[in-house]
Amino acid sequence: MAQTPSSNLDHLSESELTAKLEPDLLPKHVAVIMDGNGRWAELRGLPRIAGHREGINSVREMTTQCLELGIQALTIYAFSQENWNRPTQEISALMGLLEHYLSTERASLIEQRVRFRTIGRLELLPQSAQHWVRTTEKETAHLDNKMVLTVALSYGGRAEIVDAVRGLLNDARAGTIQPDHVDEAMIQQYLYTHPLPDPDLLIRTSGETRISNFLLWQLAYTELCFTPTLWPDFRRREFLLALLEYQKRERRFGRILSTVSS
């Protein structure tokens, strides 16, 4: 990982890295800002869409690896609200890829018992993309919480908070909630991600060290891992290194360590 020398792990194989994981300390929910697809393609003299296409293979691998490890929730940032400002050609290509991914991966998601969900302002997506999203959500809705794959599409963290406030105000006007009763737990219930727990680990690829309007509320106490690896190159070994890095972190949530508190 970028900010932690991992040289002592460089010589280890994937199975040796897996064996180093502490099963009881695995994150329950991993969030990923999948960045660097365009640069991956440009480095190879390819059109940007080639990077997005290759990035889908990383998504597939990470989903399978989460299943293998027993990580129950994976939330991936696929298209931000701000990404609507990209050239129309790239947006159309991305929407086409989304439809292709859903139409071809649905069967394997169902077979693996992965529940598929989306968060974001889906109504802004082209009708055909919305169709595949809704179909996949419906077809996997019954799957018993083995793993939830949440894809953030047309997503903005501030827009999510705006939508939560609107929901709260509507319910207050209808008289089903009292303003005095609003607390953090209640706000959480109005967020798109409800009922998922907050992410334990956020990974951002491609060397950028910002949040880019992702899960602003939910990341309050998430451990952040930044890696220079571009998303299409972020495969099983990289994920294991991120998990090992996470397991070294001391999550204090504002408290003083019990060993030094006296």
**CB atoms < 10 A from the CB of 167, how many?**
15
**Among the listed residues 1, 26, 31, 34, the single contact to ligand IPE using CB under 6 A:** 34
Residue 41 makes contact with Mg ion by CB under 5 A? no
Q: Nearer Cβ to ligand IPE, position 136 or 206?
A: 206
Is 83 annotated in the active site? yes
Count of Cβ atoms closer than 10 Å to residue 66 Cβ? 22
Burial class (CB in 10 A: 0-12, 13-18, 19+), 107: exposed
Q: Is residue 33 within the footprint of ligand IPE (CB under 6 A)?
A: yes
| Residue 238 found at the interface with Mg ion (CB under 5 A) | no
Q: At what angle do helices 88-111 and 48-69 cross, to 10 degrees?
A: 20
243: left (phi over 0), alpha (psi -120 to 50) or beta: alpha
Q: Which residue in 8, 37, 83, 144 is the catalytic one?
A: 83
Place of tokens 């891992």: 225
35 near Mg ion, rule: CB under 5 A: yes
Least distance from Mg ion to the Cβ atom of residue 37, Å: 7
Pairing of strands 114-119, 29-33: unpaired
Pick from 212, 217, 224, 236 the residue near ligand IPE by CB under 6 A.
212
Provide, rounded to whole angstroms, the least separation between the CB of residue 206 and ligand IPE. Answer: 6
Residue 84 and residue 92: Cα distance in Å, rounded? 10
How many CA atoms lie within 13 Å of 69's alpha carbon, on the beta-carbon side? 30
Task: Provide the minimum distance between the beta carbon of 133 and ligand IPE in the complex, in angstroms, as a whole number.
Answer: 15
Which CB, 38 or 199, lies closer to Mg ion? 38
Q: Which of 8, 10, 24, 35 is catalytic?
A: 35
**Nearest distance, CB of residue 112 and ligand IPE, angstroms:** 24
Q: Please tell me what DSSP assigns to residue 75.
A: E
30 binds ligand IPE (CB under 6 A): no
- Residues taking part in catalysis: 35, 83
Which residues make up the interface to ligand IPE (CB under 6 A)? 33-39, 77-80, 83, 94, 206, 208, 210, 212
Which residues make up the interface to Mg ion (CB under 5 A)? 35
